[in-house]
Amino acid sequence: MTQASTPAVVGGTSVHRTRGRLSDGREILWYDREPGRVPGTDGRGLPEVHTVSQIRYDELLDEWVAIASHRQTRTFQPSGGADQCPLCPTVPGRVTEVPTPDYETVVFENRFPSFSGGVGRAEVVCFTSDHDGRFGALPPDRVRLVIDTLADRTAELSARPDVEQVFPFENRGEEIGVTLAHPHGQIYGYPFVTPRTRQQLESARRYRTRTRGNLYADILERERTEGDRVVTETRHWTAFVPKAARWPVEVHLYPHRGAPDLPDLTDVERTDLATIWLDVLGRLELFHGRPLPYIAAWHQAPVRTDRDLAWLHLELFSILRAPNKLKFLAGSESGMGVFINDTTPEDVAARLRELGPGQDGAVTGGAGA
């Protein structure tokens, strides 16, 4: 396995990136706050990966669908906990996907990718080496490292000719369908622009034609002016429950300055993002008085089209509508795409505001119902 430790400079910030190869040829990258990372050698002798997914076009909906049947055999909730977790560090008696005894943040090509064979790329992002940790419990400087990592991966994947959109995201909780409990996310390099992004950008285009304004900027201004759906805000970011929220618990994070993607964020915007991201996750953790299953989805501009229309933002939502009740996508949602929400955005926002940081910096508040 070859490797080289080099500074990765993106958007005026610096993290230390160390490249390597796993024994089956997949790329692995360590991201550290300080230089000096020495990667180990993957001695598993894995056979070379030959998975090839397909993308098929749905003429009726004008959408692409990924066909990746090899994912049926991917690892699912190993019973041995950390002793059998492939995302933990490699230590004597336990060989994993990460051939070092510790790490801060690490990224590697997915062994069971949704996209492969020259039609995009799928990567795994491990937020911490602590199997029992969680993203929301990381200190701000470690969250900042994750942000820099996602920015660097976005920049690198955007340079690939087979990638049209980069999508970093985190699935958290068994109810969401997470197959591994270790704190991690993923990054998809789509070989097309996704339907949701196309729909948003078409709305932004029509709005600009009609008003000469920016749809995202005006939504942000409206939310900050009305205030009843704002959860919290900092100098550079605002978190709010969207006016037409689809999910029982849903929060969007918008930067105050329009940026197309994570690499475009300045140093101070990234540091500020780490602060508000942790704040929001802390509130969400207390909303139902139990660990909240959620999806955190970064919406970025396409690589080559409509970048002037886009506005980077994070959409974070949960399917948990009560402590022991899930929202299922039934007839209207699954059949027609029309969501029916049993909660009001204003009530959810008010509840999240109550669960704000205390004087000691800890998140306080009771359990939601």
- pLDDT of residue 234 exceeding 90: yes
Cα distances (Å, whole numbers) of residue 338 to 194, 236, 331: 19, 33, 9
User: Among the CATH numbers 3.30.450.20, 3.30.428.10, 3.40.50.300, 3.30.1180.10, which is that of 4-190?
Assistant: 3.30.428.10
**Can 4-190 and 196-354 be said to share one CATH topology?**
yes
Q: How confident is the model at residue 115 (pLDDT cuts 50, 70, 90)?
A: confident
3-state secondary structure of 104: coil
Binding site members for Zn(2+): 85, 88, 131, 182
Sort 184 into a burial class: Cβ within 10 Å, 0-12 / 13-18 / 19+. buried
The band of 87, judged by pLDDT with boundaries at 50, 70 and 90, is: very high
Q: How do residues 242-279 score in pLDDT, each as one tens digit? A: 999 999 999 999 999 999 999 999 999 999 999 999 99
**Which fold does the domain 196-354 belong to in CATH?**
HIT family, subunit A (3.30.428)
Q: Is the pLDDT of residue 50 over 80?
A: no
Over range 168-180, report the average pLDDT: 92
Per-residue pLDDT for 38 more than 80?
Answer: yes
Position 195 pLDDT exceeds 80: yes
Question: Encoding tokens for residue 13?
Answer: 């910030």
Instruction: Enumerate the active-site residues.
Output: 184
State if pTM tops 0.95. Answer: no
Q: Are 311 and 184 in contact (CB under 8 A)?
A: no
Quote the tokens at residue 131: 């199997």
- Identity of residue 22: L
Residue pLDDT, tens place only, 304-314: 999 999 999 99
What residue numbers does the annotated binding site cover? 85, 88, 131, 182
For the chain, the domains span: 4-190, 196-354
CB 155 within 8 A of CB 301: no
